[in-house]
Structure 1
Amino acid sequence: MDLQSTTLAIEFRHLTYTVRHKQHYLPCFPKGESASTRTEILHNISGKFNAGELTAILGPSGAGKTSLLKILAGFRTSGVKGEILINGERRGIQHRRLCCLIPQDAALLENLTLRETLHVAAKLKLGSSRKSRALRANAIRETCRILGLEGCMDTQVCCLSGGEQKRLSCAVELLSDPPLMFFDEPTSGLDSFSSSQVLAHLRILARESRRNIVCSIHQPSSKLFQSFDSIYVLSEGHCLIKGSRELMVQNLANMNFYCPQFYNPADYVLEVAAGERGDISALIGKACEALPRIENVSAKETSFMLPNLETDCEKTENDTFLSLGPKAPKHVCTLGQQFLILFSRALLTTFKDLHMAWLRSAAHVIIGVMLGFVFYNIGNDGAKVTGNVGLIFFMMLFLFFSNAMPTVLTFPSEMSVMLREHLNGWYSIKAYYLARSIADIPLQIMCPTIFLLISYYLSNQPMEFHRFAHLWLVGILLTLLAQSLGLFVGAASDVKMGIFLVPVISIPMLLFSGYFVPVADIPVALRWLSHLSVFYYAFEACLTAMYGFERARLECSRDYCHYMSPKKIMIDLNVKEENYASCICALVGYILALRVLLYLTLKLRVILSK
């Protein structure tokens, strides 16, 4: 059976979703008793959504709408029991790429234009070869026509209206023509006109192309409610009512819940689900009984039914765990193709981002000039060795924090994009990780190089190429290390936590760098901590680059200079020339360790999102 060319109906039976909450162990717990608790979000629910229909999942906040969508889309598998069928067959890996989930928040890269966003999505979802170029162009053109996006093709995503962003998030998934689409709150944050536009386009998609489109809606207006063909109402994880929208009011009346005349049916059913119109425990009980036959309705309308006693209100003894097959579906592009597409997108995003590229470059130039004038002409003066050591340490600090903090600020915003695209089957984590890690390297090399050239020349450091090359190598490694730390913290936390964690991690390492207190003067019990400090290795390597490798005697601008011999400076600072290679190896080791942690963190974020 050609799944891509057929219409898909999705059915779920005896679906139960349980979340485990870990709590701290407290004295009140008996010894050996687990302090973790389990909360059941969905309670043995069943239902079926048909192709060619636009279905609404309704319910109060916390009813389980988003959880149900993520489970049906395959985004969430942990803690799920039950059975999911596609056209009567148990869902497997062959179905995974045929469905997609568009989350409530439009997870898009804001610096790209709408055209660039669609071109990247088309390459990843339809293939990047020259043979598929015509197919991609046709898919983009047709998708934009259907969703009414032709007039804003060259507009940056950040400049699109809320409705246009919602439609763009739909368009990137629509390119591969998925027959089964799930939307989480597609009208949230939109005005009534934009909401009507979005739902009108979704209804056209469902009707014309026989797609199966399911949306969770919090509180639709009467006009929006009329856009849906079918409804599925949840109340605290229980199925309250399901089936044709047209028969909802009538079936509620059959259970003694009467919707007032000229009252929005969606508002009324939500009030019923929230218990504002009476005790719903009796309603859930009646929902398990067969409804009276409704006369003079079509076959489609008689398919409307409330949960059945045998399928929804009794938990079978033979519960089956949800089977999804392999964790990751096969991607359209190879790993190499994915990397090239994502790498080019990351480069484009980096250099179109004012904060990431131009401001950082300008900051490196300005601070380099400022340092050069403050420490002007001191690099070869034996009377100003202390100031030159301070300059070296400040250069090291600037390179570290100027590259760690911007990454922490920007990377978390990309995480939601990565999760959506990866879970919808665009690419593998490995391809994203490699592309994201390498794309920043040009900027990480350019900015420190400009900074070091300016400050090195203006401060009159020794004009020897090998000496500058040694200093440059340390600066580049420290920059890459800072970026790695920023990426890791950004992947493991949100922006607020990241801004807190980077200084908390860095300041103790600064304390044991050997600049404020010589390592020999640190108490023996704490001295070993200096060997965990990245600043210790960077500082010692920078001092070696400046005063080691047989440097000639310094000049003296005063009558007497204590430090005219570079060897004496090295001895007093307890720096050994032969340690330069080991310092470089230590910095490289830190970079590799942080990169491995970053990859594992990305994998963990994907696992936890399920």
Structure 2
Amino acid sequence: GVSGGERKRANIASELLTDPSVILLDEPTSGLDSSLALEITKILKEFAVKQKKTIIMVVHQPSSEVFELFDKLMVMADGHMVYFGERAGAVDYLTDQGYKCPPNFNPANYALELLNDNTIKQKLINAYTHKTRDDPTGKQVVEKYSRRTHADDQSKLNAPVTSERHWEATFLQQLSILTERNFKQSRKIILSRLSISLAITMTISTIIIWFQIPFAEPNIDDRVSNIFFGCTNWTFYVMSESVLSFPLELDMLMKERQSRTYRLLSYYLSKQIAELPLVLFNPILFTIPVYWATNLLPDFGRFVAYLIVVLLGVLTSQSFAYFFGATILDVQKSICGFYIKHLPTGLTWLKYLSFLKYSYSLLMQIQFDSPKAQFRCARPGELLAGELSKCNAGDNSPMSSIPGISIIENQGLNDLPWYANLIVLLEIVYLMHKAIFFYGITYGVIFFLKTKQVMISSQLKRGSSSLPALGWRSYIHILNSAQSSILMLVKAMIVQAMFRNFQKY
């Protein structure tokens, strides 16, 4: 788990990423021991000095070491100021009021002890009020300790509101930091102990069920079912994990994007780079031992091709899951699939909409479209009662073995050549990522329009807008309509592009 100190530091670091000019911290050291409180305060002090930032902290009973790190100090009681000024001058001020801090005593604790006495507390409140009677609003005190001049403040007030983007880190820095963060976050989920244990369990179970399948006619269906299981198992497993990836991170993404912490492209690329090796680990762990233990085609080239297609199917399912998650955003269940050999008349075209059809066909072609894929005909008594051998089918003389290509034809998986199946799979991956990229551009444009809307509203309230007589409400309504229109247009473009690419095949 994460300790209290680590959680405090992580929360502070997440806000420092936005590079604010002023940082307000409400009791950042509460609940921590003295060493952790001192460590956090030192980090903030170093950041304030090096980056020239203003950090305002609310603390209760700071240790003497923490107290010494403050530059300026404001002591309050019952909503009234008791002291405001240099930290080093607090002890002298209390001495002037008749309350001398004992030697080697923490000034913070001494001030709190004084304020616990109602009589002393009221006396100190009245004394500071009398001291600042000529400056009741505190304006002179603020100007005294401020490094900015009145002219600087006035120039900033009169400056026009702009929507210019400003990134504190370069694209490569954003990509590097986000990739490391996404990898650490995803590793605990994708490669958890439960996930790896499940992969090992499925690997052992699959090997036990389909161990050393003979190249014989009675075992052809066993071989086909083994390939189908290996194709679909990791496809739906990865899809169920990835479909909620974007929706669960949407709130964090919107918050960090609004503070202009990083580009949307940096986030998306870092997510792909970080999750790619994690997503492929379990399918590789499963496929390599299962391929050789279940006696699939003993050819190293075919094995490499089989493994690549399995991983390509995993990436395709992940792309679909990302697309559905980014489109719907409230997905709660993964998409189910059905295995059916003969679709009803008029629905045969539906199979071309499933990416599983292409990955499964490609795996079957790798295993059965080969001269080595020869299956011994069934001996008497090996087939079930009433089942006819494929070796005796037709008018030709009986065969001694069944070629693998005839099994592909019997399964109806020879409608597309292997390269067409491969191209379609690659095209689907490309289209899904392209669709998500279009969505990213769309939300980026909408974010710009919302920023423009806030900017116009701000200018109108200050009376510095040069908008036509159309009226600011009508103008903002136009911006809202533009946001909806752009989102609908991009969705239409994505659907059109998908159908246009599928028509090639």
TM-score (norm 2): 0.57
Structure 1 equivalent of residue 2 of structure 2: 159
- Within the alignment, does 1:588 sit opposite 2:416 as a pair? no
Match of 1:342 in 2: 178
**How big is each residue's C-alpha offset from its partner over 1:190-248, in whole Å with a ceiling of 9 and x where there is no partner?**
99857xx89x969x97xx87955699x9xxx9xxxxxx9799xxxxxxxxxxxx9539x
Answering whether residue 425 of structure 2 is matched by residue 597 of structure 1, we say no
Matches within 5 A, 1:60-79: none
Shift of 1:371: 1.1
The letter of the residue matching 1:517 is: K
Q: How does 1:135-214 map to 2 (within 5 A)?
A: 158-161=1-4, 164-174=6-16, 178-181=20-23, 193=31
AA aligned opposite 2:344: I
User: Partners in 2 of 1:554 and 1:355 — Cα distance?
Assistant: 39
Residue of 295, 317, 341 corresponding to 1:482 = 317
Residue number in structure 2 paired with 1:403 = 238
Q: Paired residue for 1:562, among 378, 385, 390?
A: 390
2:341 aligned with 1:517, yes or no? yes
Q: Structure 1 299/423 Cα, relative in aligned 2: closer, same or farther at 3 Å?
A: farther
Show structure 2 runs of 5+ residues with no match. Answer: 61-72, 82-117, 119-128, 140-157, 384-388, 392-401, 452-505
* Match of residue 466 from structure 1: 301
For the residues of structure 2 that align with 1:579 and 1:302, how far apart are their CA atoms?
82
Where 1:498 maps in the other structure, the secondary structure is: coil
For residue 179 of structure 1, report the CA deviation from its aligned partner: 2.0
Secondary structure of 2:23's counterpart equals: strand
Higher relative contact order (CA 8 A, sep 6+): 1
1:544 aligns with 2:365: yes
Kindly indicate whether residue 281 of structure 2 is the aligned counterpart of residue 446 of structure 1. Answer: yes
Residues 164/245 of structure 1: CA separation in 2 closer, same or farther (3 Å cut): farther
| Greater mean alpha carbon deviation, residues 593-602 or residues 537-546 | 593-602
1:531–1:176 Cα change, 3 Å: closer
Aligned residues of 2:312 and 2:425 also touching (Cα < 8 A): yes
Larger radius of gyration: 2
Contact 2:341–2:411 (Cα < 8 Å) also in 1: no
Deviation at 1:581, TM superposition (A): 1.2
Give the letter for the 1:330 counterpart: W
**Aligned-pair CA distance for 1:303:** 5.5
Would the aligned equivalents of 2:18 and 2:260 in 1 still touch at CA under 8 Å?
Answer: no
Q: Which amino acid aligns with 1:543?
A: M
* CA displacement at 1:569 relative to structure 2: 1.2
Within a 5 Å distance, the mapping from 1:90-489 to structure 2 comes to 158-161=1-4, 164-174=6-16, 178-181=20-23, 193=31, 246=80, 297-298=132-133, 301-302=136-137, 323-326=161-164, 328-333=165-170, 335-351=171-187, 353=188, 355-356=190-191, 358-378=193-213, 380-408=215-243, 412-489=247-324
Q: Assess if the C-alpha contact under 8 Å between 2:375 and 2:404 holds in 1.
A: yes
Letter in 2 for 1:535: L
Residues 177 and 572 from structure 1, CA distance in 2 versus in 1: closer, same or farther, beyond 3 angstroms? closer
CA distance in 2, matches of 1:433, 1:160: 30
What amino acid maps onto 1:523 in structure 2? T
Stretch deviating more after TM superposition (353-362 or 369-378) = 353-362
- Residue deviations 1:22-56, cap 9 Å, x none? xxxxxxxxxxxxxxxxxxxxxxxxxxxxxxxxxxx
How many Å separate the matches in 2 of 1:491 and 1:499? 13
Q: How far is the alpha carbon of 1:422 from its aligned partner?
A: 4.0
Unaligned runs of 5+ in 1: 1-157, 222-227, 232-243, 248-261, 263-293, 305-319
Distance in 1 (CA, whole Å) between partners of 2:179 and 2:322 is: 16
Contact 1:356/1:406, CA 8 A, preserved across alignment: no
CA shift at 1:534, angstroms? 1.0
What secondary structure, in the 3-state scheme, does the structure 2 residue paired with 1:473 have? helix
SS at match of 2:191: helix
Aligned length: 355
Contact 2:190–2:279, Cα closer than 8 Å, also in 1: no
Q: 1:592 and 1:546 mapped to 2: Cα distance?
A: 26
User: Secondary structure of the residue that 1:449 maps to in structure 2?
Assistant: helix
Supply the distance in 2 between the matched residues of 1:532 and 1:344 (Cα, whole angstroms): 36
Structure in which a larger fraction of residues adopt strand: 1
Identity among equivalent positions (%) equals 20
Counterpart CA distance in 2 for 1:230 and 1:548 is 83
Amino acid in the other structure paired with 1:539: Y
